[in-house]
Amino acid sequence: MPKPDIRDLTRPELEAALAALGEKPSHAAAVFGAVYRRGQASLGALEGVPPRTRAALAGAFSMPAFSPVEKTVSSRDGTKKLLLRFAGGAPAECVVLPGKGRLSACLSSQSGCACGCSFCATGRLGLLRSLRPSEITAQFAACLREAGALSSVVFMGMGEPFLNWENVKKAISILSDDRGYHFSQGKMTVSTVGIIPVIKELAAGELKVKLAVSLVASDEALRARLVPMDAKYPLREVVRAVRDYCRARQAQVFFEYILFDGRNDSAADAAKLLELIKGISCRVNLIPQNTAGAAASQAGAARAKDFQKRLIAAGVRTYLRLEKGGDISAACGQLAAGN
C-alpha cells in the first residue's frame, strides 16, 4: 500500500492524524503553512515543524511531486488553458480566465464526467476518474502561478463537482484554510447539473461557496433530451431545491442557461424561463452554445440579445456570456484534454 498523500487531508483531518501518531495536533498549522504557503516539497524538511513530528509524518504520509503542467495554451483573449496529468495518466484541465481587471481560475473536479450531457465535450469523454483533493488544489496552485493573483475560483471545468463532493469539499477546506491558501469561500462558485441531495446539504450547511445550477434549458422535454441526469433529478425538482436553498441561506444563485441556436432562444422560451425561476433571487448567465470551430449565426446572436433583454425587462439580472477561449477549446463544455 502506498502511503497516503498528506495533501489530501484537511487541517482537522491532519490534526487527528497527528494525534493518532502521538504528536501534537497543533503542529498541523505549521505543516499547512510550510506546504501551502511556502510550497515546501519534502515532508522530512518542513520548516517550523519539530524534527520528531516531521519524521512521524514522513513515516505515515507521502507528498510526491506532481508532473509539471503538460501543456499551456493561450487564447487571443488572454484565456489560458493548462493541462495537468495525474496518477494513472488521468488528465485534468484548468483555465485562467481574464475579466475586468481580475483573473478567475476554472477548476476540474473530475477527469471526464459520467453525466453524458450531449452538448458537452467533457460529457462525451465519459468518466475517467474522480480527482483527489490534492489534485484539485494542485490545479489552483498551477493557475495561481500562471496568474500571479486570482480573484475568484469556479468549479466549472471537467466533471460534476457534486458527484465528487467529499473530495471537492476537502479541496474547498484546504483552499480556504487560513493556514492553507487562505482563499475566501465567498469567492468560490460550485456549478452543478442539479444533484439535489447536495443542493439540500448546502442549504442546511455552513459552507459559504456560491452555487451555480446548469438549467441548460427551461423546457422539460428539451432538457430531458440534453441532460441525462434530468431523469434522476428533473428540472422542476431541481428548481424547487434551489428555491429552498436561496430561502434558507438568504443567498443568490446563478443559473446557467445555454442558448442553442434556434432551439431554445425564442421569446416564448424566455417567458418559460421567467416562469420557471419566478421569485428566486438569482442571476442568469446566458451561454451561447460553444460549438468547436463553427461560428455562431448572426440571427442567433440577435436572438441571444433579445432573450437577454426580455429577462432584464422582467427584473432578472442577466449576463450574456461572451465566449472566452473558444479558439483554444477552453470555453464552457469544451474541456476534453485534447480529444
Which of 115, 171, 238, 287 touches ligand SF4 (CB under 6 A)? 115
Among the listed ranges 9-17, 32-40, 73-81, 110-118, the one in contact with ligand SF4 (CB under 6 A) is: 110-118
Interface residues for ligand SAH in 253-272 (CB under 6 A)? 256, 258
Which of 104, 189, 192, 218 touches ligand SAH (CB under 6 A)? 192
Is residue 117 at the binding interface for ligand SF4, with CB under 6 A as the rule?
A: yes
Longest dimension (CA), the chain: 69
* In the complex, least distance from residue 156 CB atom to ligand SF4, rounded to whole angstroms: 8
Among the listed ranges 15-23, 89-97, 137-145, 189-197, the one in contact with ligand SAH (CB under 6 A) is: 189-197
Task: Indicate if 282 belongs to the active site.
Answer: no
Is residue 289 at the binding interface for ligand SAH, with CB under 6 A as the rule?
A: yes
Distance CA 7, CA 17 (A): 13
Contact of 225 with 235, CB cutoff 8 Å: no
Task: Indicate if 93 belongs to the active site.
Answer: yes
Which residue lies nearer to ligand SAH by CB, 11 or 80? 80
Is residue 216 at the binding interface for ligand SAH, with CB under 6 A as the rule?
A: yes
Q: Which of 106, 115, 246, 332 is catalytic?
A: 332
* In the complex, least distance from residue 232 CB atom to ligand SF4, rounded to whole angstroms: 12
Is residue 130 at the binding interface for ligand SAH, with CB under 6 A as the rule?
A: no
Which of 31, 56, 107, 156 touches ligand SAH (CB under 6 A)? 156
For residue 261, the Cα-to-chain-centroid distance in whole angstroms is 26
Q: Dihedral, CA atoms, 236, 242, 246, 251, nearest 10 degrees?
A: -130
Is residue 152 at the binding interface for ligand SAH, with CB under 6 A as the rule?
A: no
Q: Which of 93, 135, 160, 256 is catalytic?
A: 93
Q: Which long-range contacts (CB under 8 A, 24 or more apart) does 223-230 make?
A: 225/118, 226/117, 226/118, 226/119, 227/115, 227/117, 227/193, 227/194, 228/115, 228/116, 228/117, 229/115, 229/117, 229/160, 229/193, 229/194, 229/195, 230/194
- Which cell goes with 193? 447539473
Among the listed ranges 50-58, 81-89, 119-127, 171-179, the one in contact with ligand SF4 (CB under 6 A) is: 119-127
Question: How many Cα atoms sit within 13 Å of 195 on the Cβ side?
Answer: 15
List Cβ neighbours of 247 (8 Å cut-off, separation of 6 or more): none
- Which cell goes with 259? 442558448
Count Cβ atoms within 10 A of the Cβ of residue 2 and give its class: 0-12 exposed, 13-18 middle, 19 or more buried: exposed
Question: How many Cα atoms sit within 13 Å of 316 on the Cβ side?
Answer: 28
Residue 92 host element (H or E): strand 90-98
Is residue 122 at the binding interface for ligand SF4, with CB under 6 A as the rule?
A: yes
125 binds, among ligand SF4, ligand SAH, none (CB under 5 to 8 A by kind): none
* In the complex, least distance from residue 210 CB atom to ligand SF4, rounded to whole angstroms: 17
Is residue 113 at the binding interface for ligand SF4, with CB under 6 A as the rule?
A: yes
Is residue 93 at the binding interface for ligand SF4, with CB under 6 A as the rule?
A: no
Which of 191, 308, 318, 329 touches ligand SAH (CB under 6 A)? 191
Is residue 333 at the binding interface for ligand SAH, with CB under 6 A as the rule?
A: yes
Is residue 123 at the binding interface for ligand SF4, with CB under 6 A as the rule?
A: yes
Q: In terms of Cα–Cα distance, which of 203, 132, 141 is closest to 175? A: 141
User: Which positions are annotated as active-site residues?
Assistant: 93, 332
Binding footprint of ligand SAH on the chain (CB under 6 A): 119-120, 156, 160, 191-193, 214, 216, 256, 258, 287, 289-290, 332-333
